[in-house]
Amino acid sequence: MTDAAENHPPLPPAISADTPDWSRESKHFLAWDPPRSLLASIRSYQRHANSRAPWAGLLRRLCVMRHRVWSSITGADIPLNSRIGGGLLIPHPNGIVVHPSASIGPNCLLFQQVTIGMGTGDGVPTLGGHVDVGAGAKIIGEINIGDHAKVGANSVVLSDVPAGSTAVGIPARILPPARR
């Protein structure tokens, strides 16, 4: 091994910011997995929302009831009509609040007590692909969080975060890139 390889750990496998990894949301049919069950209820409703089949209205009502149950169990407020890319991970969904007009890209990670919502204006946040949001973070207003960005725990993000950057603090500031 070279001297440079010994000093630096290997890079983790890349997670796509464009292509959803649906295995991150998959669950076994009878497994007790409230976060994935909540996401499954949202996906199921969205699948039936525009159907013109005679039984679609009944299926939508069942999906709404299922969503209400899992929302109560998880303590998360993620609306049925949310724009969420595939592969969302919410390992601890308690207290997560997402504005219905906010957009979340594929393969994102949201921890507990995260708020993605409206500020004083009319706009809502847009999260790019593979954005990791730490516990208790608040992303507020008409801002863009770039692909592969990270938001630190308990940060309050009020301005854009460039792709690949890390935002921390109240209000959040962008950390300089880590030196390898």
Put simply, whether the predicted model's pTM sits higher than 0.85 gets the answer: yes
| Residue 117 sits in the same domain as residue 63 | no
- 56 in a domain, yes or no? yes
- Of 20, 18, 37, nearest in space to 28 by CA: 37
C-alpha to C-alpha distances, 125 to 21, 62, 99, nearest whole angstrom: 22, 30, 9
- Please tell me the predicted confidence (pLDDT) of residue 122: 85
Domain end, chosen from 46, 74, 102, is at: 74
- Give the position of tokens 């409206």: 118
Q: What CATH number should be reported for the domain holding residue 101?
A: 2.160.10.10
- 82 in a domain, yes or no? yes
- Please tell me the predicted confidence (pLDDT) of residue 9: 61
| Residue 111 sits in the same domain as residue 95 | yes
- Please tell me the predicted confidence (pLDDT) of residue 171: 95
- Please tell me the predicted confidence (pLDDT) of residue 139: 98
| Residue 40 sits in the same domain as residue 68 | yes
| Residue 91 sits in the same domain as residue 179 | yes
| Residue 48 sits in the same domain as residue 112 | no
Query: DSSP string covering 117-171, please?
Result: E--SSS---EE-SS-EE-TT-EEESS-EE-TT-EE-TT-EE-S-B-TT-EEETTT
- Please list the pLDDT of the chain residue by residue as tens digits (180 residues): 455 555 666 555 688 888 999 999 998 878 899 999 999 999 999 999 888 888 888 999 999 999 999 999 999 999 999 999 999 999 999 999 999 999 999 999 999 999 999 988 889 999 999 999 999 999 999 999 999 999 999 999 999 999 999 999 999 999 987 766
- Please tell me the predicted confidence (pLDDT) of residue 28: 81
Q: Which domain holds residue 65?
A: 33-74
- Please tell me the predicted confidence (pLDDT) of residue 31: 86
- Count: domains in the chain: 2
